Each structure stands twice: as structure tokens, then as C-alpha cells.
Amino acid sequence: MNNRLKVLRAERNWSQAELGLRLDVSRQAVNAIETGKHDPSLPLAFRIARLFNASIEEIFNDGHE
């Protein structure tokens, strides 16, 4: 699944570890989500969306428009 997490994180000048702290996950988890190796659960996707004040669809894209 494609996502804009890395871009959104960079806009706020956060490291992966800092984002992990805000989401209560590890730096490895943030890296895995950013690189598409781990698709977040729905609860984590909602946490991410709330943190960036965006909808889930604005951050994650499954390739089907």
C-alpha cells in the first residue's frame, strides 16, 4: 500500500523515532509502514490520520482510485 507518511513526517521535521513516539510504536514500525512493508491496522491508521489532521484516504492509497 502506498502512503504519504514520509512526506508528512518530513514536513514537520520529525525523525522516524519521533513519529513512533507520537504513535506509540517503534521506529522500526514507522520505517516498515513508510516503506510499504507493513500495512497498519485500522486503529493505527486512524491514529496516524488524527496526528496529521487528515483522512486515512489522504495518507494511504491502495492503488484503486
Q: Tell me which residues touch another protein (CB under 8 A).
A: 15, 17-18, 20-29, 32-33, 37-38, 40-41, 44, 51
Which is nearer to another protein, 23 or 65 (by Cβ)?
23
Q: Which is nearer to another protein, 36 or 55 (CB)?
A: 36
Residue 63 grid coordinates: 492503488
Burial of 29 (0-12, 13-18, 19+ CB in 10 A): middle
**Across the strands, what pairs with 61?**
2
**Alpha-carbon torsion (17, 20, 22, 24), positive or negative:** negative
Whichever of 60 and 64 has its CB closer to another protein, that residue is 60
Least distance from another protein to the Cβ atom of residue 63, Å = 21
